Structure 1
């Protein structure tokens, strides 16, 4: 009896220490911290750097996303990069978060912005390029006063970054007058606002009007209005939508809305996406099987038989169906069902026959074929 008590006591003690050890946990480290001695700023400047998971095991080069106010936005961009990788929405990229503190950030991005430009251009970027495998493709993001800094950086050095992302940029109202619309800017610009930001919205609307009425050669730009956001939150959707658009050709073409697809240019639009994807990222220049299926599927979802048949025939229907049979046979069943829905029972039967060659003992397919034959007989 005593032995049982002692054994139980030992077990309880061991369990206690086990739980205690587990509660202490293991540090969750994201990226590395670097301290740069800046002669331009005359201070030690902290930056956070995140490398893609396969960085150490590859010899690839990577784009770099520079994030102002890294103490606030760095982890968000890391999270976005991981999500993009999971869904194959963007190539891997290095993230550099430039830490700042309150209230110093207002001076660095305002009256002292020329020094901060110098730090970024002549100290930080060379440091990153010398110590990491960079591709020479750079993006810069800033929110609020950081967004204003991004705008001034773009005006002074339009080709230093491949894209400039500004969330609720302030103040830029007067600086917009200095934007030379007769110049050439081979870069991309994304700027965003919440409709509830009174003064900030005056600025972004002014910039939108100027760029709309006087397009700048080479400048590809987009303006986002986030109705559900507020001043303090616009940075997060700006990063998501800005990065998604900048890397839009990395994802294989996909459409879920027939009207949007047609308005964007239809098949010519899709084929151009595939060509740009091949040119920029080395993928095959043809539309993938999945891309072609989503195009046909968009017509089925819209219950538009005319465009369904037109798009299906434009893809060399027999070859396309055979590819689906081999790789995505569930899609053939969906197409057969859509044929039945539109009283095209003979086409549905032919597709069921193709599927039955692959699955000859499928009771479900045999039943569907039988029902289609019955409907065809009644129709005749």
Structure 2
């Protein structure tokens, strides 16, 4: 069965994608050549190093791109466009150059040797010459997709994840062999399109075999991009495959407070960061980005009870530079004032006036402070601060001057 799939794809390669394979990627990173004892020939690879590589001693995850002559730049672009540490870690990207007609000759005559080369010599060369951390993802398209699927299921596989676009082959023997292995968790992402009439059957069969078995230590998913065709899909599948592999790397995002609560609220959030920390060696504490986002979302969606909960639970984030301004002190104080939580509002107004004197917000902060004291029935302090609000507004010709005067008049 594998041989039939393989021969079909070789035929398709010659007629459908020959023009793509003939294109050479523009120069990004470095080209390196080394001799393969297994294949008995020199192999050329493209190497992209992250921006931080030369200025650090860090070790990096590695993305191996088969058919680098077509898709190496895509891997680099994903790194650049997703801003490194935000959604994905910075990665070393390796592109294995496989121009035609050599590509089909290798796949036709040196199939097993090529897989051994990828697993042993290629990985060994990269690990010896660059700072890698053992996290390796293998991307393959079309015939190379068979390679990526077979390699991730193989005994002693050095890769932690694989992306197979526009083809795959996984049979029962491969699954049984995988289940006998004692290994860490592996990730496999399969992508295809119904429009790829030459390869969709192989992906479908692989998915059926995966679904029919309980497979220890394999996390897998499949997605059909039926708007795409044979040539366009690999660009999407690499992106979505990396997102699948790094599904719990980025800070979690929520569409609403209801969404946050339905996912499990704070217990869910604590568990997410615990698992993320264990998997990637990162802090297990909820990060500031998530805390800031939840506070802002509660304010923006006018969910006061959630806002107050987050302000209490995430009190530490309020001491970060983000909130070191009159703008934020006034904004937070005004929201507490809106819900007549005067005791919570007062410290923000006082801190803003004391630590961040800013003409643009002084009248608003004095007014907020005065009204908060008035809400606590402290008319003396209310009057003092509302007078200061009027004076600050007069100084800057504030358009709300009449509002502040009216507030002061009511106190008198």
TM over 0.5: yes
CA RMSD, 1 decimal: 3.6
Instruction: Tell me the CA shift for residue 276 of structure 1.
Output: 4.0
Q: Distance in 2 between matches of 1:30 and 1:312?
A: 46
In the other structure, the counterpart of 1:14 is none
In the other structure, the counterpart of 2:356 is 359
Matched-pair contact (CA < 8 Å) for 1:80–1:240? yes
Instruction: Tell me the CA shift for residue 291 of structure 1.
Output: 2.0
Larger radius of gyration: 2
In the other structure, the counterpart of 2:147 is 149
The 1:330–1:100 alpha-carbon spacing in structure 2 relative to 1, beyond 3 Å, is farther
SS at match of 1:138: strand
Deviations 1:211-235 (A, max 9, x none): 4553411112233343553321222
In the other structure, the counterpart of 1:214 is 213
Deviations 1:324-352 (A, max 9, x none): 775577555554565567x4464556644
SS at match of 2:271: helix
Stretches of structure 1 that go unaligned for 5 or more consecutive residues are 1-27
The 1:227–1:309 alpha-carbon spacing in structure 2 relative to 1, beyond 3 Å, is farther
Q: Distance in 2 between matches of 1:57 and 1:145?
A: 38
Q: Map of 1:299-378 to 2, 5 A cutoff? A: 299-315=298-314, 321=318, 326-327=323-324, 335-336=332-333, 339=336, 343-344=339-340, 346=342, 351-364=348-361, 366-367=363-364, 370=367
Q: Distance in 1 between matches of 2:332 and 2:364?
A: 16
Deviations 1:296-353 (A, max 9, x none): 33334444444444444444x5x55455775577555554565567x44645566444
In the other structure, the counterpart of 1:270 is 269
Q: Distance in 2 between matches of 1:320 and 1:122?
A: 47
Matched-pair contact (CA < 8 Å) for 1:159–1:187? no
Q: Distance in 2 between matches of 1:333 and 1:193?
A: 52
In the other structure, the counterpart of 1:31 is 29
Q: Distance in 2 between matches of 1:219 and 1:199?
A: 27
1:64 aligns with 2:62: yes
Instruction: Tell me the CA shift for residue 46 of structure 1.
Output: 1.8
The 1:230–1:51 alpha-carbon spacing in structure 2 relative to 1, beyond 3 Å, is same
Q: Distance in 2 between matches of 1:142 and 1:220?
A: 18
The 1:230–1:345 alpha-carbon spacing in structure 2 relative to 1, beyond 3 Å, is farther
1:180 aligns with 2:175: yes
Q: Distance in 1 between matches of 2:106 and 2:353?
A: 69
TM-score under structure 1 length normalisation: 0.74
Instruction: Tell me the CA shift for residue 359 of structure 1.
Output: 2.8
Matched-pair contact (CA < 8 Å) for 1:195–1:227? yes
Matched-pair contact (CA < 8 Å) for 1:190–1:222? yes
Instruction: Tell me the CA shift for residue 267 of structure 1.
Output: 2.0
SS at match of 1:34: strand
The 1:322–1:154 alpha-carbon spacing in structure 2 relative to 1, beyond 3 Å, is closer
Stretches of structure 2 that go unaligned for 5 or more consecutive residues are 1-25, 376-406, 408-412
Q: Distance in 1 between matches of 2:228 and 2:119?
A: 32
Matched-pair contact (CA < 8 Å) for 2:166–2:230? yes
Instruction: Tell me the CA shift for residue 54 of structure 1.
Output: 4.0
Q: Map of 1:1-380 to 2, 5 A cutoff? A: 29-86=27-84, 88-109=86-107, 112-157=110-155, 159-170=157-168, 172=169, 175-180=170-175, 182-183=179-180, 186-198=185-197, 200-212=199-211, 214-226=213-225, 228-248=227-247, 250-251=249-250, 253-258=251-256, 259-315=258-314, 321=318, 326-327=323-324, 335-336=332-333, 339=336, 343-344=339-340, 346=342, 351-364=348-361, 366-367=363-364, 370=367
Q: Distance in 2 between matches of 1:210 and 1:33?
A: 39
Q: Distance in 2 between matches of 1:200 and 1:305?
A: 53
The 1:108–1:127 alpha-carbon spacing in structure 2 relative to 1, beyond 3 Å, is same
Please say which of residues 326-335 and 80-89 is displaced more in the overlay: 326-335
Q: Distance in 2 between matches of 1:83 and 1:299?
A: 29
Count of matched residue positions in the alignment of Structure 1 and Structure 2: 344
